[in-house]
Structure 1
Amino acid sequence: MQHLVLASSSPRRKELLTNLGITFDVLSSSIEETIDPSVTPEETVLSLAEQKAMDVAKQYPSSYVVGADTIVVYDSQILGKPKDEQDAKHMLRMLSGNTHYVLTGVSIVVNGQPSSFYVRTDVTFWPISEDEISQYIESREPFDKAGSYGIQGLGSLFVKEIKGDYFSVVGLPISRLKRELAKIGFTV
């Protein structure tokens, strides 16, 4: 019998994965997320997703283990989760009135073999006033989000345009994942 495991504690990823209509388990990876500035954002997001999936696959060697990671990139710079309020404000000011891109890397590991891909989505923000930034910071929403915003929450009020997969920006490109699982033999 096929068994799927999500290697993430993200409530957003868990919610999206339920859209497949299958039963799955959740086990968060314990890897230390480090970003090597000498590799591309694409290589970074694929590496982090694969590390998470491989870590959890040790406990579920015959299951299909899905690891994912999402990063925000502006002007060739990876914007992670903000360290504090000043960092969040700095990121939001950078993104204000500009286009950035979001990469979500996904790795599916079964029998120790990873199958990985990433999805790129371009996001354009309206210009954001200092008052809007301060109000958003006060909501506390930015603090566990790459790039200091959540597109599925109050951060949606900043989005002028999106080109690509909305669900990838949320954290899991579910339609692509369904197709990739099918390619490696998982029945959805």
Structure 2
Amino acid sequence: MSAVPSPSNLSTILPSAPQKLILASTSKYRKELLTRLGLPFSCVSPAVDEQALTGETPMAMALRLAEAKALAISQTETDAWVIGSDQVVDLNGLAMGKPGDHAKALQQLQSLRGNTVRFHTAVCLAKGRATQVMNVITEVTFRDLDDATLHAYLLAETPYDCAGSAKSEGLGICLLEKVRSDDPTALIGLPLIAVCTLLRDAGFKIPGSL
């Protein structure tokens, strides 16, 4: 897990007690994960263009998009704390995101099989224009499976909204040989250890008082 300095510092606005929390995402996976912390929050779509920039590394892309998603909401919802997150697969420097359809998902899995890759899962906490960003790296080794097995998996799971097409919390676990990470929920889409760190630094109580 690595913290990345941001232009603004959240510590300058800590005196005002945090009350409103927004997840800048409509992902059902991230919503379910954040629900585990027992904090009230709402979900808002950030409407951010997720295309990679020319020459951008996978890690830089994940960090940029996580911050962009949070800022897209926090600059209008100025009284709220906003969480943005993004995940990018790093295959030897090649960025890989959500496939969107079956054909692209099969191509992704064909590229990933037999390889060890990095999943960059970045998370940003923002309020107004102040941000704090962290990146969590998960190292994943894929099994060397044949096309028929990959095709059967895709038909059963339809993971077309998952980066790298490997839905590890579901049937996608059968595609994997090894997973290494300091933050076990990062591969699903939201690194909760990093999120807890950011929220506690911002004054949230986790677990909250009864």
Relative to the length of structure 1, the TM-score reads 0.94
Q: Is contact 1:141–1:154 with CA below 8 Å preserved after alignment?
A: no
Structure 1 residue 160 corresponds to structure 2 residue 177: yes
Runs of 4+ in 1 over 4 A off after TM superposition: none
The aligned residue for residue 96 of structure 1 is 113
Shift of 1:83: 4.7
The aligned residue for residue 114 of structure 1 is 131
77, 80, 93: which one pairs with 1:60? 77
Shift of 1:55: 0.6
* DSSP-derived class of the 1:157 partner: helix
- Aligned identity (percent) is 33
* DSSP-derived class of the 1:135 partner: helix
Q: Can you list the C-alpha shifts for 1:128-167, whole angstroms capped at 9, x where unaligned? A: 1211111022225231111122111111111111100331
The aligned residue for residue 52 of structure 2 is 35
* DSSP-derived class of the 1:144 partner: coil
| Unmatched segments (≥5 aa) in structure 2 | 1-16
151, 172, 187: which one pairs with 2:190? 172
Structure 1 residue 3 corresponds to structure 2 residue 25: no
Q: How many residues align?
A: 188
- More off after superposition, 160-169 vs 34-43: 34-43
What code does the residue aligned with 2:40 have?
A: T
Aligned CA-pair RMSD: 1.4
Query: Residues 140 and 37 (structure 1 numbering): CA distance in 2 closer, same or farther, change over 3 Å?
Result: farther
Q: Which has the higher helix share?
A: 1
Query: Residues 83 and 5 (structure 1 numbering): CA distance in 2 closer, same or farther, change over 3 Å?
Result: closer
| Unmatched segments (≥5 aa) in structure 1 | none
